[in-house]
Amino acid sequence: MKDGDAIRSDGGLPAASRTALRGPAVRRLLALRAGKKLTAVHVRVAADALGVSERTVRRWLAAVQSDETAAANPGARSQIDARFTVTPEVRGLLALWKGNVRAVHRELVLRAARQSPPTDAPSLTTLHRAIRRDLTPGERAGLAGGERAARKHDVFLARPRGWRNQLWETDHMQAPMLVDVEGKPRRPWITWFTDCSTNAITGVAVTPVHPSRESVLAALRSAVLREDPYGPFGGLPEKVRVDRGKDFLSRTVTAAFDLLEVTVEDLPAYTPHLKGTVEGLNRAVESMFLAALPGYARQPRPGKRPSRPKDEVLLSFEDFTARLLAWTRWWNTEHRPEPLRGRTPLQAWQDDPTPLRDVPAADLWTFTLEDAGTRTLTTRGLRFRRRDYVGAWMTGQAGIQVRIRFMPHHDHRIEVYHAATGRYLGPADLTDQATEEQVSAVRRARSARARRLKKDLEASQRERYAAATQPEAPQRLGVLTTAQAEAELAQAAGTNLSDLALPDLIPLAAPPAGWRTPASLAALTTPGPPVRYPYGRDGASAPDGRDGRAAPPTPDEDGDSP
């Protein structure tokens, strides 16, 4: 082992010393190989001495064959071949193939083979190494899954906590569960306001179907009022954050915020991280409350095709609303969020000495109604949206000017105020209101008609094409006989009003004598005395003269020209 001892080194040397010994050790191995005395033992001893693997040592020896300078600094990258880096072409391919590196490598190999002359493509390992080195985890996730996936790797700054009612956040959330709404399973929507300083839920409203501006106004009233059963949370905030929802930015809601002197901060679209308090609440209510309720839509199901059990009993809408409000009280009074450092939202609210701005319930109700303008009270009541509304207070008030306010989508009642003084006069209810049975029957008839129309439209647009096993033009299937085609065209012509029109059924009257009528039009008119048309004072409708120019104006009865 004399040759092996020549390259042996102390394994306890620091890493820097072992790196300095790489050059002499590799040159010694090269000398042994030149003398045909290099064995596997020599490579193993060198690898142990230098703190690397045997494969690394053999790769160093192979690199010397293409670059002699590699013997001076083994392990350094060769100066002949430049290091492969991620180019814009590779980034585009990663986005095209949704981050599939193997598919990108196949594309690079094909493109390299089509070059003239053909070039060498990077190996799959080299491509993986370059992507890990040159692209951040956020960039790799974004090229594979888009901006939303890339945002998970971003770092967000935490806003400093201010004082209570300094800032509220609001949002709609569709609950991932089914509830029984008049015998039909539906996914309810939750609209709530939350205080960013104390994490308290100040107001909440639940709707069985899609929310609207009425949901926002109802949640806003419950958030501002501090009377029972709303609790101590409430008052007017200084600012409210919204996320470009058309309900939150509607004319009625923005007018209510203006009257209450509340600033609305409209956040850019698709930026949930800018209102993290309410977004965190949306996630918390699902994992802490909704997941344990019957009808939860994301519950793991057995079987290959998960579906709801046939014997599953859903909560009624009333029961779901009651449970949600109870959970809201638990959140405000017992739950201890981590940002509050062991305190409940109620304790954080009570520890804050910031004064509150309260609004009387009657004024708040007025401010959160939509304004429909002024009307005149008649003996039939008030006419609003082509329907009549009456109230007991209208007796002896016919003829006064009033202002109508109403809650959106609540067509059964309106609120009436004096137009001059703004004094509240009273409510007015819809006259001749249909019963619940009649309304249900109308809704069933409308649903049946919509289903029939949808079925007819789908049948008319259904087309079939032949399956192709080779490149060819699409071949439409379905043949008609001549009689069938003529019958269908005749039926379509019978329903087209433009085809049924008969413009020449009543011939046109003869034009005035002073008009220059084309021969083709004169043949379609009936003979008779010419019709004298009154001319406008501006001469716009005057007929042309004999020479084709406008005729002179006709004098008035007193002899003066107009």
Q: What is the 3-state secondary structure (H, E, C) of 467-531?
A: CCCCCCCCCECCCCCHHHHHHHHHHHHHHCHHHHCCCCCCCEECCCCCCCCCHHHHCCEECCCCC
Strand order in the sheet with 413-418: 370-376, 401-406, 413-418, 424-430, 387-390, 382-384
**Number of helices and strands in the chain (H, E):** 20, 16
> CA distances (Å), 418 to each of 275, 404, 423, in order?
41, 9, 5
φ, ψ (nearest 5 deg) of residue 387: -135, 155
Sheet-wide strand order for 201-207: 201-207, 189-195, 168-174, 239-242, 263-266
Please give the backbone phi and psi of residue 45, each rounded to the nearest 5 degrees, phi first: -65, -40
pLDDT value, residue 6: 43
**Tokens for 439?**
């309304």
Predicted confidence (pLDDT) per residue in 487-533, tens digit: 877 776 666 666 666 666 676 777 787 888 787 777 777 666 555 54
Report residue 382 CA to chain centroid gap: 40
Query: Which of the residue ranges 94-103, 281-290, 437-446 would you say has the lowest mean pLDDT?
Result: 437-446
For the stretch 139-166, pLDDT in tens is 999 999 988 899 889 888 888 889 999 9
With 0-12 CB in 10 A as exposed, 13-18 as middle and 19+ as buried, what is 161?
middle
Is pLDDT at 305 greater than 70 in this prediction?
no
Q: Which of 205-209, 283-287, 449-453 has the lowest mean pLDDT?
A: 449-453
Give the pLDDT confidence score for residue 319 in this predicted structure: 95
Phi-psi region of 261 (alpha: psi -120 to 50; beta: other; left: phi over 0): left
Whole-angstrom CA distances from 431 to 391, 428, 534 are 9, 9, 49
| Cis geometry, peptide bond prior to residue 229 (ω within 30 degrees of 0) | yes
The two structure tokens encoding residue 52:
């690397």
Helix (H) or strand (E) holding 196: none
Token pair 């020449």 in the structure block, residue: 504
Q: Does the structure show a pLDDT above 90 at 457? A: no
pLDDT digits (tens, 9 = 90+) for 262-278: 999 999 887 888 888 99
Residue 324 φ/ψ, nearest 5 degrees:
-65, -40
| Averaged pLDDT, 17-37 | 79
DSSP 344: -
Answer yes or no: is pLDDT of 186 > 70. Answer: yes
Beta 263-266 vs 239-242: how paired, if at all?
Answer: parallel
- Determine the distance from the C-alpha atom of residue 147 to the mean position of all C-alpha atoms in its chain, rounded to a whole number: 14
Q: Which amino acid is at 175?
A: A
- The residues spanned by each domain of the chain are 15-71, 88-153, 167-351, 368-443
Q: Which helix (H) or strand (E) holds 445?
A: helix 436-461
Residue 92, CA distances (Å) to 97, 112, 133, 138, 445 in order: 9, 16, 17, 16, 54
CA distances from 473 to 468, 470, 477 (A): 9, 10, 13
Q: Could you tell me which residues come within 8 angstroms of residue 533 by beta carbon, excluding any fewer than 6 positions away?
A: 512, 541, 543
Tell me if 3 sits within 8 A of 43, measured CB to CB: no
Question: Beta-carbon neighbour count of residue 490 at 10 Å?
Answer: 9
10 Å CB burial of residue 17 (0-12, 13-18, 19+) is exposed
Residue with tokens 């011939």: 507
Cα distances (angstroms) measured from residue 99 to each of 95, 103, 129, 470, 526: 6, 9, 14, 31, 79
* 13-22, 23-32, 437-446, range with the lowest pLDDT: 13-22
pLDDT at residue 548, rounded to an integer = 44
Sorted by sequence, the CB contacts under 8 Å of residue 334 that are 6+ apart come out as 344
- Architecture of the domain delimited by 167-351: 2-Layer Sandwich (3.30)
CB distance 170 to 192 below 8 Å: yes
Which of 408, 407, 367, 411 is CA-nearest to residue 389?
411
Q: What is the pLDDT of residue 261?
A: 92
Tokens 């190989």 correspond to what residue?
33
The residues with which 374 forms a beta bridge, in sequence order, are 403
Strands 424-430, 413-418: pairing kind: antiparallel
Using alpha carbons, select from 327, 402, 414, 334 the residue that is nearest to residue 370.
414
Give the residue from 317, 241, 325, 314 showing the smallest Cα distance to 285: 325
Exposed/middle/buried for 424, CB within 10 Å: 0-12, 13-18, 19+?
middle
- Predicted confidence (pLDDT) at residue 223 exceeds the cutoff of 60: yes
User: Distances from the Cα of 471 to the Cαs of 33, 468, 475, 476, 478, in angstroms?
Assistant: 61, 7, 12, 15, 21
